[in-house]
Amino acid sequence: MAEQVHVNLPGREYVVEIGEGLLGQAGAYVAPLLRRPRVAVISDETVAGLHLETLRAGLAADGIAMEALLLPPGEATKCWDALTRCVEWLLDQQIERGDVVVAFGGGVIGDLVGFAASVLRRGVRFVQIPTSLLAQVDSSVGGKTGINTRHGKNLVGAFHQPSLVLADTSVLGTLEPRDFLAGYGEVVKYGLLGDAAFFDWLEAQGPALAAGDSAARIEAVRRSVQMKADIVMRDETEQGERALLNLGHTFGHALEAATGYSDRLLHGEGVAIGCALAFELSARMGLCAQEAPSRVRAHLRAMGMKVDLRDIDGELPDAEALLALMGQDKKVVEGQLRFILARAIGDSFVTGEVAKADVLTLLTDALA
């Protein structure tokens, strides 16, 4: 039996199923959503090479046929051209309003395909089958979809909730360790932003989880998704509390932009470094005790993750330039940068009350 998290948004309720071997049972989960036994799956070449036939067999077991479009892996696929390709292919496949599109992959595929589904025929339903840890704990849940433009990440998109999320934790076993740990950055984020007991649990269970412990992985995904679902149910369109989910992202997005969204820094790595910086800033502003950032850093280090700016290969721009990159963040309101800061581990809040000079000093010290 899979674990379940219910996202009870009025009129758009859905379930996140979490467990081992769900790909092979996909048909049983998807069938209740279908008006005809056929789905259009969009994935990337890497994920497809590893898991597409398992998914095909899982759907076929319930008499569901699938067609698949495979896109190149990587962040560059979250672009206008790929969106066009998806939408035109879905129209070629004669996907109708009543059909279901399946996003089968990591965060890039989930965001892109969710956005394609939101605009296709003014909105068709879609199922998220996330295959990275990052996508399982964060991007597949909550309905944020979109693409990047030359102006920055995720600046074009829509809120479009999936009709079902199938998080098969057994596929995490095929991730490169670096990708797994990048996703773990988002798991740590949940403990840091709102659940100190979860952070305690991660400090104890993190190494087992990274080593492949199945029960620990399921529990980490379940607790992360439950926290996300609770926040999304209270604030679906990010009028307030949902911004807490961006802990570490203001710094992280600037670092991703500074490294050209390349392999030098994965999104979850940027989030982890960003969390450490957000806690350091909080301590310097007298909001939390110095032991909080020290504990955050110690855990990230113990997990073998990037913690400091010097852990990023190659040159970085100076503090002024990094601050300028933060200005493109979606969390800018009326020109004012908003930060997620913390009073303690598990107690974060959104604020626009951060002096530019404090951020510049923090970044200058971090770059030294």
**Interface residues toward ligand GLY, by CB under 6 A:** 138, 142, 144, 242, 245-246
Q: Which of 78, 160, 217, 249 is catalytic?
A: 249
Q: What is the DSSP string of 237-249?
A: T-SSGGGGGGTTH
Note if 238 is an active site residue: yes
Closest residue to ligand GLY: CB criterion: 245
| Active-site entry in 17, 75, 236, 238 | 238
Q: Mark whether 228 is an active-site residue.
A: yes
Q: Which of 89, 159 has the CB closer to ligand GLY?
A: 159
> Shortest distance, CB of residue 24 to ligand GLY, whole angstroms?
28
Q: Is 51 in the active site?
A: no
Cβ of residue 349: shortest distance to ligand GLY, in angstroms? 16
Instruction: For residue 271, give every residue at least 6 positions away whose Cβ sits within 8 Å of its Cβ, in sequence order, or none.
Output: 185, 186, 189, 247, 248, 249, 252
Question: Is residue 249 among the annotated active site residues?
Answer: yes
**Dihedral sign of CA atoms 29, 31, 35, 40 in order:** positive
> Smallest gap, in angstroms, from Cβ of residue 142 to ligand GLY?
4
Exposed/middle/buried for residue 361 (C-beta within 10 Å: 0-12, 13-18, 19+)? middle
Q: Which of 51, 217, 222, 267 is catalytic?
A: 267
Which position among 51, 78, 153, 186 bears the catalytic label? 186
- The question of whether 242 is a catalytic residue gets the answer yes
Kindly state the smallest distance separating residue 186's Cβ from ligand GLY, in Å. 8
- CB of 228 or CB of 297, closer to ligand GLY: 228
CA 289 to chain centre: 29
User: Minimum distance from CB of 246 to ligand GLY (Å)?
Assistant: 6
- Catalytic-residue membership of 189: no
For residue 334, what are its two tokens?
């009326």
Nearer to ligand GLY, 129 or 271 (CB): 271
Please name the residues in contact with 238: beta carbons below 8 A apart, sequence gap of 6 or more.
Answer: none
Q: Round to the nearest angstrom and report the end-to-end CA distance of the chain.
A: 51
Q: Which is nearer to ligand GLY, 99 or 138 (CB)?
A: 138
Joined tokens for residue 165: 């999320």
Using the minimum distance from each CB to ligand GLY, give the nearer residue, 66 or 103. 103
- 198-223: string of b/e by CB count within 10 Å (b at 16+)? bbebbbebbeebbeeeeebbbbbbbb
The residue annotated as part of the active site, out of 253, 297, 306, 331, is 253
Single out the catalytic residue among 122, 151, 176, 334. Answer: 122
| 203 vs 27: CA distance, rounded Å | 37
Q: Which residues pair with 166 in a beta bridge?
A: 17
- Is 144 an annotated catalytic residue? yes
Residues sharing a CB contact under 8 Å with residue 259, sequence separation 6 or more, in sequence order:
265, 312, 314, 316
Q: How far is the CB of 61 from ligand GLY (least distance, A)?
A: 32
> Is 246 considered catalytic here?
yes
* Residue 253 is a catalytic residue: yes
285 CB-near residues (< 8 Å, 6+ apart):
341, 354, 358
Q: Which is nearer to ligand GLY, 27 or 152 (CB)?
A: 152
> Catalytic positions, please?
122, 144, 186, 228, 238, 242, 246, 249, 253, 267
